[in-house]
Amino acid sequence: MVDLKSHVRNIPDFPKTGILFRDITPLLQNPIALHQAIDMLALHWKGVHIDRIVGIEARGFVVGAALAYKLGVGISLVRKKNKLPYKTVGATYQLEYGEDTLEMHIDAIEPGSNVLVVDDLLATGGTACAAVNLVEKLEGKVLGVGFLIELVELGGRRKLPNYDVYSLMEFEGE
């Protein structure tokens, strides 16, 4: 087994002063670490009937696509406002200084579909909650929310109390 945390690069003061950015690029570049991470995510939901993965822009696309392939399902994309070419449904969420909107194609989820929402990192939970909201607007059933990394001190998990939240790695403030 590979120590996945050893493949996460810490970048201080990015994207702004005081932020310690957890960069998964080294993990994605290492075929053994990437394979292990995807296998571990898939194993968590083994035996659960999942119809669709929803990947959150942008690193969630990478993790979500690999996981969708592993599980033999399709992937739908959640993107920032005005980035998708077809008719969309949107969800607005709060940022530290303001708000943002995520969108999904109106035909991205069939009503009643079992969905797993995936992103690289869980921080405050705002982005994940907005993605869950989009799936539910389209009448999908969110069975779980998966992440490579969880920044525990930011409490994002508390915003998702009704879902199976699973993260491969937890980081405290360092």
The CA distance from 32 to 29, in Å, is 9
Task: Tell me which DSSP letter residue 159 carries.
Answer: G
Residues 6+ apart with CB under 8 A from 58: none
9, 57, 79, 96: the catalytic one is: 96
- Asked if 139 is an active-site residue, the reply is no
Spatial neighbors of 35 by CB under 8 A, at least 6 apart, are none
12: region left, alpha or beta (phi > 0 left; psi from -120 to 50 alpha): beta
59 is an active site residue: yes
Residues 6+ apart with CB under 8 A from 17: none
CB contact at 8 A, 117 and 50? no
Q: Which residue in the list 59, 103, 150, 157 is annotated as catalytic?
A: 59
List, by residue number, the catalytic residues. Answer: 59, 96
